[in-house]
A and B are shown apart, each in its own frame.
Chain A
Amino acid sequence: MMGVVTDPWPYVWAAYGATTLALGAYLVSLWVRSQPSGGTSEER
């Protein structure tokens, strides 16, 4: 099934890295927006 590459690991790391980045970034955004200032500079 593997057609065009001989080493699958860079793709495995890319998929796991993307998963970590996407979920991590979203969790951080939830935390920032839940702060009393809502993450906006004008209310600080």
Chain B
Amino acid sequence: MTRNLLITGALAVLLQVGGMVAGLTLSPPEQHMSDLVRIMFVHVPVAWAAMATFTVTLVAAIGWLSTRRWGWDHLLDASLEVGVVLGVLLSVQGSVWGYPTWGTWWTWDPRLTSVAVMVLSFLGILALRAFVDDPDKRASWSAAASILAWGSVPFTYFCVKVMNSLHQKQTPWGAMAPEMLRVLLLNTGTVTILTLWMLVARYRLARVELQRELDT
């Protein structure tokens, strides 16, 4: 890891810590959710980052299949792994919010089920990559599978709007109290910066790993 990458990483972590402290202290309790609203300040940004990262996977998959340039496969590799980490974290945060709100850690609700399908689909592609030795086949198969798996991303986003779901619908920006909106936007920014940093670091790692693989 280069010095510049370490310094920018440390800054991204500091920003993230600042965002989380703001989430714990700056927002007032919400009328119905009380202090549980603070979970939203980390849950919603992670949801956005996970879906955006899986969309990067889709772009990388199309890029690889149309150009066969290794950079696209490195990006696919990076975004798959970062997306799965964010997706698992998203599910844990949602579960921790669900118990005090709904009285259950997990239910087969359309939104929760679609998130599980989304994360498990991409986790399966990560496993596929681990089991295929030929780099060219690995890149092509995981790219094709990623395009199929990406279908779960818009479904996950829109299902609460069109299906009868226990999960609440997206709150319109204008309906949120300004002091809560500020904290949510701050955390959306910090999570986005940290996600971009993780993608860059993992992309470089993927490049080194392929080189090591080809050298042996």
| Chain A interface (Cβ < 8 Å from any Cβ of B) | 1-5, 8-9, 11-12, 14-16, 18-20, 22-23, 26-27, 30-31, 33-35, 38
Contacts and interface: CB of A to CB of B under 8 A. Distances in A.
Main secondary structure of the interface of A (DSSP, over half): helix
A41 to B, nearest CB: 16
Interface string B91-105: 011001101111100
Nearest to B45: A19
Interface in B130-187: none
A31 B197 CA distance: 12
Contacts of B93: 15, 18-19
Interface in B33-49: 33-36, 38-39, 42-43, 46
Interface string B77-101: 0000010010011001100110111
B100 A2 contact: yes
B39 A12 contact: yes
Contact of B205 (A14, A20, A30): A30
A11 B82 CA distance: 25
A11 B1 contact: no
Nearest to A24: B13
